Chains A and B, each alone.
Chain A
Amino acid sequence: MDEPIVCRCEEVTVSEVKRAIVEGYDTLEELKRHLRVGMGPCQGRTCLPLLAWILAQETGKSLKEVMVEVSVRPPLIPVPFELWREG
């Protein structure tokens, strides 16, 4: 596939994102749940800004408008169970 990828962890492409927006998944939280974009090991650090940019472009909203209400979920980096047990 030579198509640009938005989310490397979950291998989601730009056209998949655009199609989802047309289908009505037009908020970051819905795109995340629909495509799993941002749900991989990087937890959206790479892809969420890209996703927000595409969403703003496609919906005609400002970046500020599309960035509202994005949930941040701990831990921010992957941490093994055994460290939590000892912590």
Chain B
Amino acid sequence: MKRSADVVIIGAGVTGAALAYELARRGIHDVMILERRFPCAGATGRCGGGIRQQFTTPHNIRLAMESVKRYEVLSEELGVDIEFIQGGYLILAETREETEALCKAVALQNDLGLPSTLLTPEEAKRVFPLLDETVIVGATYCPTDGHANPFRVVKGYLHRAREHGVSVEKFTQVIGLEVKGERIVEVRTSRGNISPGVVVNAAGAWSREVARMAGVELPNEPVRHEIAITEPVKFFMEVMVISIHNGIYFSQTKEGQIIGGIGDPEERPGYNITSSLKFLRNFARELLRYAPALGQLSVLRQWAGLYDVTPDAQPVLGPTPGLENFIQANGYSGHGFMIAPAVARHLADHIEKGVRSEILDKLSLERFKEEIRGEAFVVG
């Protein structure tokens, strides 16, 4: 293992992989990714793969729109089929209040150039024919949303990054960050120490612990989210369906499997990622309420991962006040896979040229000193 690097990225999830690739493309090749287990072992490899632009804050919408532009060309650029299916996202609402929230969101999204529209229950059924439209009051749809295979995305990014000389050190845990003055001068790992130029904290749900090693307090909290996948069946749904009523999401992978999950409002912060019967029952009940025809489909496997949740459900990005070479790339609150390709570009530009885009400025750690207005649609 090398003993120094211009950029040390902590975490080989989609953020770390995308950033390493974007840096390499800009001519910054002396990059190391340190990964506690192996690429995709954390939230990236456990997520539903959804890529949604229909958010409620301008920053999330902008980052997601930028990201979709990247996902559209990524298979070709990386030389790996990322299984991107751009079949849109259908968002369901069951009450008048929820429909009003969707309405407001669509107005903001349209202002920013996103082609999302409000649908009646009957129109929603035309987008997703298995839908029991009597259950819903309204819906929105954006045809350019979609989903992809997270493993293939990371594989593609890392493959290209390695070609440029980036090294990926798996089973290498960061155990300490030594600070002198306003700099991190040493990254201590389970396999030896590294002298870093810049350190990027892309450790997902463990970012808070990593930041603490440098004396930095992040407001992020890890929250378990459970997910399940079925046996494969003939491809029948291009659209990804979510509901703001109960936080359910589901889609069909290119392999034909239905993959989906549902949030649990009773879930308390913590690092528990065991699977529960409670989740499976809840998911089955809500799924079959919306799409009764899926009842015969068998569940193959369930698992869980950790959202890295911030108080406003928006990521923590960019430089850290008081530490000139420590960059945050975490706090995605369940939306990391959706926006990582865009975030990686903003951060790579920052590392290369020292420029700080408006989004990095607005989403920096400093914002938590002010009043918080956050993302309302925290779903897959």
Given the known A-B contacts A29-B38, A30-B38, A84-B280, are A41 and B231 also in contact in the complex, defined by CB atoms under 8 Å?
Answer: yes
- List the A side residues contacting B155 at CB < 8 Å: 34
A61 at the interface (CB under 8 A from B): no
Given the known A-B contacts A33-B45, A33-B151, A71-B303, are A81 and B38 also in contact in the complex, defined by CB atoms under 8 Å?
Answer: no
Of the candidate stretches B50-58, B197-205, B287-295, B322-330, the one touching chain A is B287-295
B275 at the interface (CB under 8 A from A): yes
- List the B side residues contacting A43 at CB < 8 Å: 300-301
B297 at the interface (CB under 8 A from A): yes
Nearest residue (CB) in B for A25 is B38
- List the A side residues contacting B303 at CB < 8 Å: 71, 73
- Bound Cα distance A29, B281 (Å): 27
- In the complex the two chains form, is B302's CB within 8 Å of A75's CB? yes
- In the complex the two chains form, is A27's CB within 8 Å of B38's CB? yes
- Bound Cα distance A73, B41 (Å): 15
- In the complex the two chains form, is A85's CB within 8 Å of B302's CB? no
A2 at the interface (CB under 8 A from B): no
Nearest residue (CB) in A for B275 is A74
- List the B side residues contacting A80 at CB < 8 Å: 295-299
- List the A side residues contacting B38 at CB < 8 Å: 27, 29-30
- In the complex the two chains form, is A78's CB within 8 Å of B151's CB? no
> Smallest distance from the beta carbon of A19 to chain B beta carbons, Å?
14
- List the A side residues contacting B275 at CB < 8 Å: 73-74
- List the B side residues contacting A40 at CB < 8 Å: 300
Interface size class of A (residues with CB under 8 A): 20 to 34
- List the B side residues contacting A84 at CB < 8 Å: 280-281, 283-285, 299
> Smallest distance from the beta carbon of B204 to chain A beta carbons, Å?
16
- In the complex the two chains form, is B301's CB within 8 Å of A81's CB? no
> A55-87 toward B: CB 8 Å interface, digit per residue (1/0)?
000000000000000010111001111101101
- In the complex the two chains form, is B151's CB within 8 Å of A34's CB? yes
- Bound Cα distance A39, B302 (Å): 11
- List the A side residues contacting B298 at CB < 8 Å: 78-81
- In the complex the two chains form, is B301's CB within 8 Å of A85's CB? no
Within B52-107, the residues touching A (CB, 8 Å) are: none
- Bound Cα distance A39, B259 (Å): 13
Nearest residue (CB) in B for A82 is B295
Nearest residue (CB) in A for B162 is A24
- In the complex the two chains form, is A73's CB within 8 Å of B301's CB? yes
Nearest residue (CB) in B for A75 is B299
Given the known A-B contacts A30-B38, A33-B45, A41-B231, are A82 and B302 also in contact in the complex, defined by CB atoms under 8 Å?
Answer: no
- List the B side residues contacting A81 at CB < 8 Å: 230, 284, 287-288, 294-299
- List the B side residues contacting A29 at CB < 8 Å: 37-38, 41
- In the complex the two chains form, is A78's CB within 8 Å of B300's CB? yes
- List the A side residues contacting B277 at CB < 8 Å: 87
Within A3-49, the residues touching B (CB, 8 Å) are: 27, 29-30, 33-34, 39-41, 43
- List the A side residues contacting B287 at CB < 8 Å: 81
- In the complex the two chains form, is B284's CB within 8 Å of A82's CB? yes
Within B15-58, the residues touching A (CB, 8 Å) are: 37-38, 40-41, 45
- In the complex the two chains form, is B288's CB within 8 Å of A39's CB? no
Q: List 5 A-B contacts (CB under 8 A).
A: A34-B155, A75-B301, A79-B298, A79-B299, A87-B277
Contacts beyond the supplied A74-B280, A78-B230: 6 A-B pairs with Cβ under 8 Å: A73-B275, A80-B295, A80-B297, A81-B298, A82-B295, A85-B284
| Interface, chain A (partner B; CB < 8 A) | 27, 29-30, 33-34, 39-41, 43, 71, 73-75, 78-82, 84-85, 87
